[in-house]
Chains A and B, each alone.
Chain A
Amino acid sequence: MVASAGGTALALTLTLALALALVLPVGGAAAQPWVQRQPKTLVPRAHERIGFAELVELHARKLGAWDRLALVAGAEPIEPSVYLTLLPDRVLVWDDEVLPLARGVPAPAELASCPPLCLPHLRDALSRALFAEAARVRAAGARTPPRILLLADSRLPYRTFLAAAYSAAHASVGGPPDLRLAVRTGSGGSKLGQIGFFLAPTHSVRVAENADPLLLQIAIEDSRYVVRARRSWLPAAESARTPSAVATLIGELKARDTTKTVVFVSAAGAAPLGRVLELVAPVRALFPGITLGGLPRIVGPRE
């Protein structure tokens, strides 16, 4: 009898405890929803990867530079590099402003002969950036040397672009880093791409006496393009009115000498960069070794 009464009391207590346990938290939460703890975790996101090309494109768009990049078909995909952006009012290395420009022109005090022409502040900023990038590349176990990518407003004077490019070339020792120019490519210029280019050295270049260099040059003048090459059967200079006419001319040279890949391009300093790049697009299909800055002094081959 006693055991039965004890069992009933125990069952009653358990039932009551269970009912309280079930009801109280619910009632409490319903009565005071504001006491709920703030979530301590982040909201999951679907896409949290970012590629280097995407980063550069976002940055270019933010700076208003995207629409001013030259449109070049068949450009290569972007690779991680140090990048500098040339805008009409400033020059940036990564996202740090290093130099002001006035309508695309640096103050005369900023220019120096490095040689032939460079911007020492920009060169030093690029040296630091290259050093940091080289450390990153090394830490990642890659063996590719650091590169420099130039994003340039195509309205800039060619002389400013060249000064920035030579500054980049002098930012390392032993030789210039790989230089690339960022362009819009793909259908309607919707993608970011790059084209490689060289700069003409200011020192003499020695080649073998028995070498037979073509030394193809294109000079961009106000209303025409002047093509020269070291071939006896060619007239001293041939001129063309349009980039496609130039392409036809140099196509004939390429057909006769398929191993040649280098073309030296020069232009007046005041010409807009866009005019130079208009020519670069068709020419690089035949001669991908675009070398800006004109023909260097070549020593060695017999005339």
Chain B
Amino acid sequence: MRKLCLLGAGLAALASACRSAPPPAPAASDDERARTAAAAFLSCFERDGAECRASDATLIPWAALEALALVEGAIPTRIVDELPPALSALRDPALVRRVFIEKLRGGEAWARAGACEVRRVQPVGARALALAQAAGQRIERLGMAETEIGRTVNELAQAAQSLGAARLVEVGCTQTGRSFYLALSPGGDDAGAWRVVALVPEPPPWLHGPGAARAVERVQLAPAEPNVVDPWLPVLEEQL
């Protein structure tokens, strides 16, 4: 009987020991990882400026979002005007990198003088993926899927799939009262590491989705010739 009691007590002690084991630490969320990476980048950025960029950051998917937004929401005449140069700029990784470095250089002064700190972390991956999908659909709808331009847009939409976890981190600078935003995405040579892929003065316009239908506004037109018979019949009297 005594042995049984001892065995019971032992088991109870073992069970309580198991219960009292510390719970496993919760895995850091993407928001926290992005915040940590942004804070680390910022502390380096205040000191060393643009040199703090990660050399293996994949910049093209983020840079492509502007072109994809153009495809998603612009009128076709604007697409004809603006898409080819935008795609051609994205073709040159050195140029994309140079633009990124210029943006970082532009932000150096704010960061150094402003006592900046990481504030809000906003997930933007879902919108980036939706944007990529919408751009692909519009290219299809316009019948451009089989053109070179259409194939490039689809390629960029595919590349944008890597931005599913992307975050936009607001950085507020108390001294200057200004704020800017860092876009971060996991990637690069170390797949788990978060990299800064853009620095922008304000959230990109595409973040809010395609604009809602605007109120009807009419264009005021005047006849090209002052002596025409009527605005509806823009011909001279002798032509009637």
Contacts and interface: CB of A to CB of B under 8 A. Distances in A.
Interface of A: 37, 40-52, 55-56, 58-63, 80-83, 94-95, 124, 127-134, 136, 140, 145-146, 169, 171-177, 198-201, 203, 205, 207-208, 211, 213-215, 259-262, 289, 291, 296, 298
Nearest to A80: B77
Contacts of A124: 216
Given A37-B189, A205-B230, A43 B148 contact: no
Interface stretch (B8-16, B44-52, B106-114, B151-159): B151-159
B179 to A, nearest CB: 28
B60 A40 contact: yes
Given A82-B75, A171-B219, A211-B240, 7 more contacts: A49-B84, A60-B143, A63-B143, A145-B219, A207-B240, A211-B237, A260-B240
Interface of B: 58, 60, 75-81, 83-84, 87-88, 90-91, 93, 138, 141-144, 147-149, 151-152, 155-156, 159, 189, 213-214, 216-224, 229-235, 237-240
A128 B216 contact: yes
Contact of B233 (A56, A63, A145, A291): A291
Contacts of B144: 50, 55, 58
Contact of B232 (A55, A63, A140, A199): A199
B216 A169 contact: no
Contacts, number: 168
Contacts of B219: 127, 130-131, 134, 145-146, 171-173, 177
A94 B147 contact: no
Contacts of B84: 48-50
26 contacts: A40-B93, A41-B93, A42-B152, A45-B152, A47-B148, A48-B149, A50-B83, A55-B76, A59-B143, A94-B75, A127-B216, A127-B217, A128-B217, A131-B217, A136-B78, A140-B81, A172-B221, A175-B221, A175-B234, A177-B221, A203-B232, A207-B229, A213-B237, A213-B240, A262-B233, A262-B240
